[in-house]
Structure 1
Amino acid sequence: MAVRYNRPVATLTTICSLIALIGSAGGSILGIGMILNTILGIDPIVAIVVTAAITIAYTTFGGLMGVALTDWVQTIIMLIGLILVILFGFKAMDPTSSLFAASLNGGELLHNVLGSQFMNTTETVTFMLVIGWVITFMPLNTVSQTQIQRVYSAKSVKSIQRISLLIALFMGVSMAFGLTLIGGIGKSLLPNLANPETVLPVLSMEIINPWVGMVIVTGILGACMSTIDSNLLGASIHVTRDLYEHRLKSKGLPVDDKRTITLARWTLVIIGAISTVAAILTPSIMGLLLFTLKIFSGATFVPIMLGLFWPKANSYGAITGIIGGGLTTILCNIMQTNIDPVILGLLVSLVGTVLFSILFKEDGDKGQQFVFKTVTKKDYGIFVEA
């Protein structure tokens, strides 16, 4: 954003991104607290504080490599856990059938228990609802700090392309579809569950061997921790690289790498503490997650994308779009408007960015900084190789 527009635009983007990262980390900390409270009966606040302390510690000293290694192990455990919970869940719904037969008839079992209305994938879905969710999570998976830092840490362009495809398949097929199935199974087997957000760990402990269930729960906890560590690391990079180092460079002062690392670690601890407080004060995981992500999306997504694909976009428009989109999203969320706040925020951001870019001209050729060609036919082989 600094290269495409200017430093004030980059700073505003950093602030909005920090809000999203803190909220996302806080939501995952709260999730772990709920799991430990449900499974082990630990006081939620104690569970939240202990979880935060452990995650902050290993992220602080392990850095990006520590995050990458733990994420890799946790993802494997989580994927195996999803498959086992689905298989044993269908078996629990039809105890007289074999595991294989129950799995094959899973759709029919859910239909018989929950009814056709629940099983109808479009029953309560509206166009605006779909757009709202897509818009909320698209920036998280495209232009967020947690995604960009992974790209920069890759060994080669080819590895980035291959892993991006694998992630899309994993998230789209395994995670999204699998978690939806588990939600239906949980509604069938545990209709009176006090906290529906704990359905996966509860099912893991009740329908599978307790020892296997504990391993799966560990994977679930690990998945939450992987979200926390990535967001904390991204937030600390914002402060050190985007704010602190830029301030030194603008004054012509040298950057001390050792001091920067120390600052990053302390920043990570402080931001982790803020996320922990947010987790304690917020009753809902999704409430905290969605509110902060929508602010980030409503404020920054349009200026970022127009900066990439519209050469006429300038800093006057970007600043207007970020401030207007962010404030609109916050106000609409507080007012609980019928239309999703992030949609209204994006509309205001789009109008502001385009209008002010046209009305106020800017000298220079920054609009040409990101002129590039998209994927061509010769690149399609990458997907086949992956």
Structure 2
Amino acid sequence: MLAIGVITYRMTNTLSDYVLGGRKLNSWVAALSAQASDMSGWLLLGLPGAAYASGMGMWSIWIAVGLAAGTMINWQYVAKRLRRYTEIAGDSITLSEYFENRFRDKSHLLRVISAVFILLFFLFYTASGLVAGGVLFQATFGVDYHTALIVGAIVIISYTFLGGFLAVSWTDFVQGILMFLALIIAPIVAINQLGGIDAVFSNIAAKNPDLLDIAMNVSFKDGIWTSEGALAVVGIISAMAWGLGYFGQPHILARFMAIRSAKEIPKARLISMIWVVITLYGAIMVGFVGIALFDTPLENTETVFIQLVQVVFNPWVAGFLLAAVLAAIMSTIDSQLLVASSALTEDFYRTFLRKEASQTELVWIGRGAVLLIAFISLMLAWNEKNTVLGLVSYAWAGFGAAFGPAILFSLFWKRMTRNGALAGMLVGGLTVIFWEKTGYAIYEIVPGFMFASIAIILVSRMDSEPSREIQEEFDQASKPLANE
């Protein structure tokens, strides 16, 4: 990974290169980079841990269905339109710049508000990856949690600092392949060792038959699986609602913006869907098999992949499979650091402090921003009681509600206005931040997404129609570009 960082360092000369790779990604790199940066350490820690703790209930089957559907819809409808629109709207290289150019916002309010939300939620998202790294080193080598945090952070920061977007995308490509192989090999070999799939499910049923029922809610506490009755509709909706988050994730949308042409997108979509479906259900099977494999229940359910690999495989093979966990962590943190860095550099530094800054200066400011954001995230991750899934779910909801409706309406509704976009972002983001205080059990992305959409429609309808220039640009974005 560090070697890729050094190589791409020589290919990074402008801010566009550092932030968006000069829009040169092919379909394979764009697809695997988008999905590897999307899934993060929670795919090999959080999701298997949830499947281990609850069986086929809320956090496994239903969340996987929602994520697979969200991935498909995002690639099918958002990717091509966003790729075209960001090039047409002033060749925008960040999401914040796109919103400003799309609505001709001379006040810079849209840019600032979106950049603030990006920085806020990415601090928590990046912290989740650092927590995952701490869990990995602690469970594998017995290394002190805080030492593991620092070591992991240094490696990831190094190649992101050097090579920017190209380094991140190519390392994600390699890491995505490693994650894919690990989540195929680990459950298949473990199932075979246990005597086949029937033996696995018989063993699980002996511990609690409700673990095999997708409609039942099972809790895990003090080494005991306890049935909590049928899953509530609210629980199923909350799990599937994770799919809504895709439309607003800046690090995923950046891959759509960076692909070299919209005509590459159908191929990238197919690659992405194959990768997502296989890895999601591979991760779930790791959790299921863990229930059957371990006679003594795990203290930390999120270590099930790590423990399973070390029990089932030869240490040489286990080492490569455990590297997939680190790959998953790295592939997401680097993307998040880069998007947050671009928000500080492009949306604050160049816009308000140094409008005439040279490209070299901006690249180095971007690198400095990577260090600053990584340090703050490290402080957030310092508490050992943080869980990977908990931090990810908060950040995922934040981005999904703040940006998801704004992106969808800006791409597909000509009547949307600048004030509508601003209202949608503020309502969506603030709903996620304060929803927990209401006491309602539903995942905060659901009310956040809904309220943001309503705000966009109502405020846009109250405004006068967008200018003819904006409407003509909207029509242009729906047609193929010259390079297609």
| Residue 290 (structure 1) shift | 1.0
CA distance in 2 between counterparts of 1:106 and 1:230 reads 41
- Distance in 2, matches of 1:158 and 1:126, equals 43
Which of 134, 138, 143 pairs up with 2:244? 138
Q: Is the 8 A contact 1:248 1:254 kept in 2?
A: no
What's the offset of the Cα at 1:299?
2.1
Contact 2:234 2:441 in 1 (8 A): no
| 2:309 matched residue in structure 1 | 204
Distance apart, 1:317 and its partner CA: 2.0
- Cα drift, residue 89 of structure 1: 1.5
> Is structure 2 residue 181 aligned with structure 1 residue 80?
yes
Task: Name the CA distance, whole Å, in 1 between partners of 2:276 and 2:120.
Answer: 24
Which of 254, 257, 263 is equivalent to 1:149? Answer: 254
The residue type equivalent to 1:147 in the other structure is I
**Aligned match of 1:163:** 268
Aligned-pair CA distance for 1:230: 1.0
Aligned position for 2:410: 307
CA, structure 1 residues 312+152, in 2 after alignment: closer, same or farther (shift >3 Å)? closer
The aligned counterpart of 1:279 is: 381
Q: TM-score, normalised by structure 1?
A: 0.85
Q: How many residues align?
A: 363
Q: 1:175 to 1:363 in 2, by over 3 A?
A: closer
**Per-residue CA shift, 1:56-94, capped at 9, x if unaligned?**
111101222222222222222222222221122113323
Matched to 2:281, the amino acid is F
In the aligned structure 2, how far is the partner of 1:93 from the partner of 1:193?
18
Tell me which amino acid in the other structure corresponds to 2:290.
Answer: G
Supply the AA of the counterpart residue of 2:214.
Answer: T
CA distance in 2, matches of 1:197, 1:269: 28
* 1:63-102 matched pairs, under 5 angstroms: 63-94=164-195, 102=196
Deviation at 1:20, TM superposition (A): 2.9
Conservation of the 8 A alpha-carbon contact between 1:137 and 1:293:
no
Q: Does 1:122 align with 2:226?
A: no
> Using a 3 Å threshold, how does the CA distance of structure 1 residues 158 and 347 change in structure 2: closer, same or farther?
closer
Among candidates 365, 385, 389, match of residue 263 of structure 1? 365
User: Which residue among 457, 462, 466 is the counterpart of 1:354?
Assistant: 457
- On the 8 A contact 1:17/1:296 being kept in 2, the answer is yes
1:50 aligns with 2:151: yes
Q: C-alpha offsets along residues 207-243 of structure 1, whole Å, 9 cap, x if unaligned?
A: 1111110110012111111111111111111222233
**1:242 aligned to which of 347, 351, 358:** 347
8 Å contact kept, 1:77–1:219 = yes
Deviation at 1:181, TM superposition (A): 0.6
Q: Which moved more, 1:84-93 or 1:31-40?
A: 84-93
Does structure 2 retain, via aligned residues, the 8 Å contact 1:113–1:188? no
Give the % identical residues.
Answer: 23
Match of 1:3 in 2: 101
Contact 2:137 2:143 survives alignment (8 Å)? yes
Deviation at 1:355, TM superposition (A): 1.6
Whether the 8 Å contact between 2:156 and 2:334 is mirrored in structure 1 is yes
- How far 1:116 sits from its partner (Å)? 4.0
Distance in 1 (CA, whole Å) between partners of 2:388 and 2:243 is 15
- Aligned counterpart, 2:286: 182
For residue 130 of structure 1, report the CA deviation from its aligned partner.
4.2
Task: Give a deviation string over 1:240-288, Cα, whole Å, max 9, x none.
Answer: 2233333368xxx434000000000000011111111121236111111
Does the 8 A contact of 1:25 with 1:275 survive in 2? Answer: yes
Contact 2:184–2:282 (CA under 8 A) maintained in structure 1: yes
What per-residue deviation string (whole Å, max 9, x for no partner) do you get for residues 102-148 of structure 1? 25x46644654455421122334554434434444433x34432123
Q: Which runs of 5+ in 2 are unaligned?
A: 1-98, 218-230
1:34 correspondence with 2:135 = yes
What letter is aligned with 1:57? Answer: S
Equivalent residue, structure 1, for 2:121: 20
Say yes or no: does 1:327 pair with 2:430: yes
AA aligned opposite 1:129: G
Cα offset, 1:348, TM superposition: 2.1
| 1:340 corresponds to 2:433 | no
CA distance in 2, matches of 1:112, 1:325: 42
Counterpart CA distance in 1 for 2:476 and 2:236 is 30
In the alignment, the residues of structure 1 paired with residue 266 and residue 257 of structure 2 have an alpha-carbon distance, to the nearest angstrom, of 13
Counterpart in the other structure of 1:289:
392
Aligned amino acid, residue 452 of structure 2: S
The alignment yields a C-alpha RMSD, in angstroms, of: 2.5
What is the CA-CA distance between 1:345 and the residue it aligns to?
1.7
| Structure 1 unmatched ranges of 5 or more | 95-101, 377-386
2:369 aligned partner, one-letter code? T
Q: 1:290 to 1:108 in 2, by over 3 A?
A: closer
Amino acid paired to 1:167 = S
C-alpha change, 1:151 and 1:284, in structure 2 (3 Å) is same
* Structure 1 residues 373 and 326, CA gap change in structure 2 (3 angstroms): closer
CA distance in 1, matches of 2:285, 2:437: 32
The separation in 1 between residues aligned to 2:240 and 2:364, in whole angstroms, is 38
Distance in 1 of aligned mates of 2:447 and 2:474: 27
What aligned pairs does 1:360-371 form with structure 2 within 5 A after superposition?
360-361=463-464, 364-365=467-468, 366-371=470-475
Determine if contact 2:200/2:289 at 8 Å carries over to the other structure.
no
